[in-house]
């Protein structure tokens, strides 16, 4: 008779414990232990408990392969979350078997020891059969579905309730999510009630009457400075949608700006033609601040052209497809110098300029910012982070067993993504969702907008160093989003390369991993089906694997933080980034009045809803796990832990550098502080 000491850890979140029967069986290469009921005096499996038990085996088990856990109902059904099992072998060696799973109903689960292994590193028939069975069960549970044509495929679940419990929010997260939404909507109702008995919108100052309780330092700064051109330019680089701006060397043919139109906005000794005719190496301001040519930038919202608009409470809403020309002034920074509000101008189409009547110029900028709201919410945020990452989430769950090193690497960065995306599809962008109620592209428009972007989406554009180079903004000063993104990218890529290098030493190692190749096929042939120009490599090499995994983690962490976390800051002051427009763009500069502006901007109800929803979605999550921190320990090998420690050290250095750079700045850019970047998309 051999005796093994077994420790079983119950989860720490609410309702993780159980009063049901729990049994354990140890499975070794030479046989199995007795099936043992885990029962000590008192409550064994209460929340956070780690119980210790003795398990007998009639003979030597040989190398321990699996731990079999079973849950059986005692009186009432009571679910259980198991964190891990530790087994002390005769001779004091201790093995850890990570679990991190819910046991629902009468359930039997077999778990592997923590050491990550590729298929080639498993030779025993029992372990190979275990890998195969796990994937068969997962593929039956996690199925692909086309929620709408022309966008990435997603998990087959009509609502979050159809997801397996392991992919659901913890109870605390679910309660907080639903409470915060109710809290925001309650404040919305109070504001509407308070204003209903006062005067209606008359001027821009009236928006201050809903600007209470829910606020932030950046939102207050925005309220004070939103009319200023430098602040408009700053948001193009560091606002909620910092990926649109690009340097140009030639004006678009449909944007007939001539030099004398914008000369008053430019520095002396230069003009529009000089700034456009420049070699790439000469672009941007020199390091000593002297002006060189190549300082013309463009925001082009052509993708908005032809998108159908929403009808809210029987009233049509309006959109525009603007072009906005910007100039990097040597003294004033990035400044807008010309705006056109349509893509197909005729002789009477106005080009708005800073020298125009102030109301006309202000309204033109509002129209650009309104387009910014649509593009940032639907494309930069929803499509390019949430939906893209969901593809990798589904393929990882379908094709990689829990013992696979790439599963262990990716899974913490996929936490809660399926549930938040299911909630988004049912509550935000559905036919009767919040976007339909308040956003000008709500309903059919947002889907068509996403489909247009998906057609031109490229893998290259998801890689930050390529994206900045392709947009010609690698030297654009005070572009904090670019600077901090690249710092995080380098840290993530180094981390990924370090982990991958422990398990793959050559391209052949990657190509001979059949599970990994199936994962890659699932991504390309299922998740991104119908996207021939996306640009993923046809063959997955070691280098390409490191890049692809870095892209996934970067999008799920840094990129999502850059687009999501500041949305309340930039959108709370509604005139700065309006969610909808209730009148068409102006055709006559001289006809723009304050009455026209107020009639165009969102009404009281829409404004309150915009504030409430952006606060709900953009606020810091109370259960957030910061980038590089792991509540669940999937890697336990010493070399892997060393790589994780180096990653954390690099993130700490980045944190300190960002804090130093922002000291003394009135308007700080802290969205990409590693401590504020979540490890996955959870909101």
- Residue pair 2/89 in contact by the 8 Å Cβ criterion: no
- pLDDT single digits (tens) 79-122: 999 999 999 998 889 999 999 999 999 999 999 999 999 999 99
**Cα gap 536→395, rounded to integer Å:** 15
Mean pLDDT, all residues of the chain: 93
**Cα gap 661→646, rounded to integer Å:** 23
3-state secondary structure of 173: helix
**Cα gap 532→459, rounded to integer Å:** 11
- The whole-number pLDDT of residue 191 equals 65
- The whole-number pLDDT of residue 531 equals 87
Percent of the chain with pLDDT over 90: 86
- pLDDT single digits (tens) 454-506: 999 999 999 999 999 999 999 999 999 999 999 999 999 999 999 999 999 99
- pLDDT single digits (tens) 386-416: 999 999 999 999 999 999 999 999 999 999 9
Q: Which two tokens stand for residue 259?
A: 């030099």
Angle of helix 638-662 relative to helix 480-501, nearest 10 degrees?
A: 170
Side-chain-side CA neighbours of 451 within 13 Å: the count stands at 14
- The whole-number pLDDT of residue 288 equals 37
- The whole-number pLDDT of residue 273 equals 95
Angle of helix 514-521 relative to helix 388-399, nearest 10 degrees?
A: 150
Lowest mean pLDDT among 84-93, 190-199, 212-221, 658-667: 190-199
DSSP annotation of 375 reads I
Sign, Cα dihedral of 189, 190, 191, 195:
positive
**Cα gap 602→112, rounded to integer Å:** 56
pLDDT category of residue 179 using cuts at 50, 70 and 90: confident
How many helices (H) and strands (E) the chain has is answered by 22, 17
Q: How far is CA 526 from CA 138, 150, 152, in A?
A: 16, 13, 9
**Cα gap 560→539, rounded to integer Å:** 28
**Cα gap 327→265, rounded to integer Å:** 8
- The whole-number pLDDT of residue 198 equals 41
Lowest mean pLDDT among 49-63, 107-121, 170-184, 434-448: 170-184
- pLDDT single digits (tens) 201-216: 788 888 887 776 667 8
Length of the chain: 683
Q: Minimal CA–CA distance to 236: which of 333, 377, 118, 355? A: 333
Which residues are CB-contacts of 188 (< 8 A; sequence separation ≥ 6)?
Answer: 608, 609, 611, 612
Q: Minimal CA–CA distance to 285: which of 267, 312, 260? A: 267
- Residue pair 373/467 in contact by the 8 Å Cβ criterion: no
Task: Flag whether pLDDT at 193 surpasses 80.
Answer: no
Burial class (CB in 10 A: 0-12, 13-18, 19+), 149: exposed
- pLDDT single digits (tens) 9-24: 999 999 999 999 999 9
- The whole-number pLDDT of residue 194 equals 59
- The whole-number pLDDT of residue 394 equals 98
Q: Look up the pTM and report it.
A: 0.95
**Cα gap 54→250, rounded to integer Å:** 77
Task: Flag whether pLDDT at 150 surpasses 50.
Answer: yes
Angle of helix 229-238 relative to helix 358-374, nearest 10 degrees?
A: 10
Q: How many CB atoms lie within 10 A of CB 106?
A: 12
pLDDT category of residue 184 using cuts at 50, 70 and 90: confident
585 or 212: which carries more pLDDT confidence? 585
Report how far Cα 676 is from the mean position of its chain's Cα atoms. Answer: 13
- pLDDT single digits (tens) 616-648: 888 888 899 999 999 999 999 999 999 999 999
**Cα gap 32→64, rounded to integer Å:** 9
- The whole-number pLDDT of residue 195 equals 61
**Cα gap 635→646, rounded to integer Å:** 14
List phi, psi (to 5°) of 551: -60, -45
3-state secondary structure of 115: coil
DSSP assignment of 397-429, as one string?
HHH--TTSHHHHHHGGGGTTHHHHHHHIIIIIS
Q: Which two tokens stand for residue 68?
A: 């079999």
Check residue 681 and give left, alpha or beta (phi > 0: left; psi -120 to 50: alpha). Answer: beta
Q: Which two tokens stand for residue 239?
A: 């606002």
């Amino acid at each position: 008779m051999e005796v093994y000491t077994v420790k079983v850890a119950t989860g720490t979140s609410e309702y993780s414990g159980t009063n049901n029967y729990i049994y354990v069986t140890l499975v070794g290469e030479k046989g199995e232990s007795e099936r043992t009921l885990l029962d000590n005096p008192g409550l064994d499996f209460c929340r956070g408990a780690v119980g210790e038990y003795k398990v007998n085996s009639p003979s030597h088990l040989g190398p321990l392969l699996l731990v079999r856990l079973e849950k059986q109902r005692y009186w009432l059904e009571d679910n259980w979350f198991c964190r891990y099992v530790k087994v002390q072998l005769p001779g004091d060696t201790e093995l850890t078997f990570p679990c991190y799973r819910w046991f629902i109903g009468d359930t039997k689960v077999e778990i592997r020891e923590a050491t990550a292994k590729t298929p080639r590193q498993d030779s025993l028939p029992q372990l190979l059969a275990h890998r195969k069975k796990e994937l068969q069960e997962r593929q039956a549970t996690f199925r692909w579905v086309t929620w709408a044509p022309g966008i990435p495929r997603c998990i087959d679940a009509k609502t979050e309730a159809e997801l397996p419990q392991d992919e659901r929010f913890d109870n605390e997260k679910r309660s907080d999510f639903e409470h915060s939404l109710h809290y925001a909507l309650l404040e919305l109702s109070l504001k509407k009630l308070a204003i209903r008995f006062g005067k209606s919108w008359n001027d821009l100052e009236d928006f201050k009457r809903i600007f209470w309780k829910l606020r932030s330092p950046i939102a207050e700064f925005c309220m004070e400075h939103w009319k200023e051109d430098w602040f408009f330019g700053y948001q193009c680089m560091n606002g909620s949608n910092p990926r649109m701006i690009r340097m140009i060397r030639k004006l678009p043919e449909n944007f007939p700006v001539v030099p004398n139109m914008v000369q008053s906005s430019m520095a002396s000794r230069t003009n529009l033609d000089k700034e456009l005719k420049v070699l790439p190496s000469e672009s941007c301001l020199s390091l000593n601040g002297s002006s060189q040519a190549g300082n013309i930038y463009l925001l082009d919202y052509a993708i908005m052209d032809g998108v159908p608009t929403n009808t809210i409470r029987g009233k049509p809403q309006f959109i525009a497809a603007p072009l906005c020309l910007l100039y990097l002034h040597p003294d004033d920074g990035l400044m807008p110098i010309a705006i056109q509000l349509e893509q197909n101008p005729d002789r009477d189409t106005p080009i708005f300029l800073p020298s125009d009547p102030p109301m006309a110029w202000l309204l033109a900028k509002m129209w650009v910012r309104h387009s910014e709201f649509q593009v940032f919410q639907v494309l930069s945020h929803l499509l390019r982070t949430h939906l893209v990452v969901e593809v990798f989430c589904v393929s990882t769950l379908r094709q990689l067993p829990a013992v696979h090193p790439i599963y262990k690497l990716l899974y913490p960065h996929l936490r809660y993504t399926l549930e938040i995306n299911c909630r988004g599809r049912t509550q935000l962008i559905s036919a009767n969702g919040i976007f339909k109620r308040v956003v000008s592209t709500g309903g059919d428009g947002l889907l068509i907008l996403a489909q247009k972007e998906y057609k031109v989406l490229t893998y290259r554009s998801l890689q930050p160093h390529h994206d900045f180079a392709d947009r010609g903004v690698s030297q654009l000063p005070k572009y904090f989003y670019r600077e901090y993104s690249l710092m995080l990218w380098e840290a993530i890529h180094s981390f990924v390369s370090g982990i991958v290098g422990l398990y793959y030493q050559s391209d052949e190692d990657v190509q001979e991993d059949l599970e990994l190749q199936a994962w890659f096929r699932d991504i390309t042939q299922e998740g991104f089906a119908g996207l021939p120009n996306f640009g993923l490599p046809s063959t997955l090499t070691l280098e390409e694997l490191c890049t692809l995994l870095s892209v996934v983690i970067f999008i799920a962490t840094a990129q999502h933080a850059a687009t999501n976390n500041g949305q309340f800051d930039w959108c709370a002051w509604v005139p700065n980034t309006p969610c909808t427009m209730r009148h068409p763009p102006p055709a006559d500069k001289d006809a723009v009045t304050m009455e026209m502006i107020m009639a165009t901007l969102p009404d009281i109800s829409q404004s309150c809803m915009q504030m409430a929803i952006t606060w709900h979605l953009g606020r810091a999550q109370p259960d957030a796990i910061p980038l590089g921190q792991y509540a669940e320990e999937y890697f336990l090998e010493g070399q892997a832990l060393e790589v994780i420690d180096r990653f954390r050290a690099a993130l700490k250095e980045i944190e300190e550098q960002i804090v130093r750079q922002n000291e003394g700045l009135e308007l700080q850019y802290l969205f990409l502080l590693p401590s504020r970047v979540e490890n996955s998309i959870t909101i």
